[in-house]
Chain A
């Protein structure tokens, strides 16, 4: 079965880059997502990558995918205190009936 692993906690200083890592086990996953959850709120899609891509950049966010190692990372440049949140990695098979499998979430704490 699928399994998605993430480190639980990351602390950085404002202005530094943050890198959140994720590993997944299902090589047939075709869609990989990063979601952000702020305190007391639901999850919000930050960005996604198709499995035939190696990298995707969207403003301060860079997603890197290493299919060989089944490793996904999210880099946040110039991290701000407003980036403090829980970040979830998720994978989905190429099937309209499949559900997403989420990692356990990484809590990012940004200090001034």
Chain B
């Protein structure tokens, strides 16, 4: 069972508010990821991190920012939320390993954000 947790699970906020989605994992994984999931199911990688103090932008441009100060924690922040940010946000983590089944992603349960 994966030990990766996201909070809040559901959030409804007004336009212009600052929000932070929390993600924590207790598996000691060095790599962490944020995906945005369309209502149509497609997953888009928006941020990832190789380890502490490392953050990279993903395939889909996003107005959100991330930080990685501790190995286990990878929060995502929206400074000023807009209705276009309404989506499901999924956090994931993995080991950096090539020869074993490395690269397998463990996902959190997701944070569903609605911006009114």
Contact = CB atoms under 8 A, between A and B. Distances in A.
Interface in A88-112: 88, 92, 94-100, 102, 104-105, 107
Interface stretch (B12-20, B66-74, B99-107): B99-107
Given A42-B90, A42-B109, A45-B104, A99 B41 contact: no
Given A42-B110, A105-B41, A105-B42, A100 B101 contact: no
A8 B40 CA distance: 10
B84 to A, nearest CB: 20
A100 B108 CA distance: 16
Given A92-B103, A97-B50, A100-B103, A40 B110 contact: yes
B33 A41 contact: no
Given A104-B42, A107-B41, A43 B103 contact: no
Interface in B1-49: 2, 6, 33, 40-43, 45, 48
Interface residues of B, number: 27
Interface residues of A, number: 25
Nearest to B94: A100
B55 interface: no
Contact of A96 (B92, B97, B107): B97
A2 B77 CA distance: 29
A84 to B, nearest CB: 14
A95 B109 contact: no
A99 B33 contact: yes
Nearest to B96: A96
Interface of A: 8, 31, 33, 35, 40-45, 48, 86, 88, 92, 94-100, 102, 104-105, 107
